[in-house]
DNA sequence: TTGATTACCTAGCGCTTGCTTGGTTAAAAT
DNA sequence: ATTTTAACCAAGCAAGCGCTAGGTAATCAA
């Protein structure tokens, strides 16, 4: 049987899989590749997961949960709407480009590789994540930092940030903080 | 032999493939699916293309070239930097969500499915496309419509627009023009 | 001491995949 | 009238894929 949903070993393998899914995509990553990097034989994977798709599910859950936790903390740690927005932008960029990036990037890119049932389960976390962002955006609009339709503002802001996965390359010299600052000025610049 | 690079039939099949690649992704679209929708047997596909990857190449080339032509026309038709920017935003959204969207969306999403050699060839069109956008952004900065580092401004703007492929659903009632207007206000709003 | 549980391995099955080979037919060119 | 070319089909091969079955060794509770 498979059953053990929260073992340490499973988490390790999930992290290995996240790295591969991000590098090669889900479809082009074979179970043999995952097994090799995890140091086991391919058949042994199915002791931990019932099928390959469950590995993707585990990766995406890890990515979404991690990002949600970070976002929650960020909101708690700040006081004004401006601080909130600034901090959330920086956190989002760090989530996408910091050391735990793999799982979260996979959760964005491979969402459509999940089957409908898995998506229905994970959408709960995703919705909560978006709701927290919406809260930040709404507050920013109330303070006059942003103007316009709340939902569209959130989609524009998050879209720009998420799109950085397609072009941002960390370099020594250019810090992610600089990009975050420039982006904050990009979306506000009213005062 | 394969040789006929610009036949009418090839264009038809490429369009069929674009639709499937957008709906199911490149990897999950089989040559048998493409053949069926094109009304031929799967083996016959290889009379028109040397392998499956060449079909993707054809789709992406179609998508990029189409978008580039449209962008060039848009720049010619307008006069001021403001008109230029407004028009380019609307055209970009129409390219992504209008009737010829498939090939262009595939050119964005499946870029990483190409092998290195194909990418090297197509990067020329892509660079020209980005250069035209940079021209529009630079002009907008000169006029004071935007502020900041030119390259980052372009990436932020295009990122937001391209990200709409993940959420925009055309509805009767809400027009794409409204979204374009709201986006223009989102990125400018200095005056 | 025994029995269950966890974590693996060995070996390979069955299926789908991209692609090939050798032919056919109809139209166009000579 | 004959040859060439373009566009297809029929049949199937080889490779790679996800996944399974049956077994072993170590750990741990009863």
Contact, B138 CB vs strand C, < 7 Å: no
Residue B104 Cα, gap to closest chain A Cα (Å): 16
Find the closest chain B residue to A109 by CA distance.
B109
Cα–Cα distance for residue pair B171/B155, rounded to 1 Å: 28
**Cα–chain center distance at B123:** 13
pLDDT tens digits, A72-122: 999 999 999 999 999 999 999 999 999 999 999 999 999 999 999 999 999
CB contact under 8 A, A153 and B186: yes
Burial group, residue B179, by CB count within 10 angstroms (0-12, 13-18, 19+): buried
Find the Å distance, CA of residue A124 to C1' of nucleotide C14: 37
Contact, A3 CB vs strand C, < 7 Å: yes
The length of chain B, given as a count of residues: 191
Which among B113, B156, B185 has the least Cβ separation from residue A183? B156
Question: Which residue segments constitute the domains of chain B, with CATH numbers given?
Answer: 59-187 (1.10.357.10)
List of chain B residues whose C-beta atoms are within 8 Å of the C-beta of residue A166? 159
Cα–Cα distance for residue pair A130/A68, rounded to 1 Å: 9
CB contact under 8 A, A148 and B186: yes
Say yes or no: B166 contacts chain A, CB-CB below 8 A: yes
pLDDT in tens, chain B (191 residues): 444 567 899 999 999 999 999 999 999 999 999 999 999 999 999 999 999 999 999 999 999 999 999 999 999 999 999 999 999 999 999 999 999 999 999 999 999 999 999 999 999 999 999 999 999 999 999 999 999 999 999 999 999 999 999 999 988 767 999 999 999 999 998 65
């Amino acid at each position: 049987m498979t059953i053990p949903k929260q073992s340490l070993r499973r988490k390790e393998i999930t992290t290995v899989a996240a790295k591969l899914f991000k590098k090669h995509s889900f479809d082009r990553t074979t179970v043999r590749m995952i097994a090799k990097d995890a140091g086991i034989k391919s058949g042994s994977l199915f002791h931990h997961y019932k099928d390959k798709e469950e590995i993707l599910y585990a990766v995406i859950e890890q990515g979404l949960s991690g990002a949600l936790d970070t976002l929650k903390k960020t909101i708690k740690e700040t006081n004004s709407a401006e601080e909130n927005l600034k901090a959330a932008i920086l956190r989002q960029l760090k989530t996408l480009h910091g050391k735990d990036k793999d799982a979260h990037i996979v959760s964005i890119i491979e969402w459509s590789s999940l089957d409908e049932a898995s998506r229905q389960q994970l959408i709960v976390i995703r919705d909560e994540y978006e709701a927290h962002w919406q809260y930040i955006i709404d507050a920013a609009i109330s303070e006059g930092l942003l103007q316009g339709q709340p939902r569209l503002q959130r989609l524009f802001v998050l879209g720009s940030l998420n799109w950085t996965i397609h072009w941002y390359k960390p370099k020594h010299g250019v810090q992610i903080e600089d990009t975050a600052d420039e982006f904050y000025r990009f979306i506000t610049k009213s005062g």
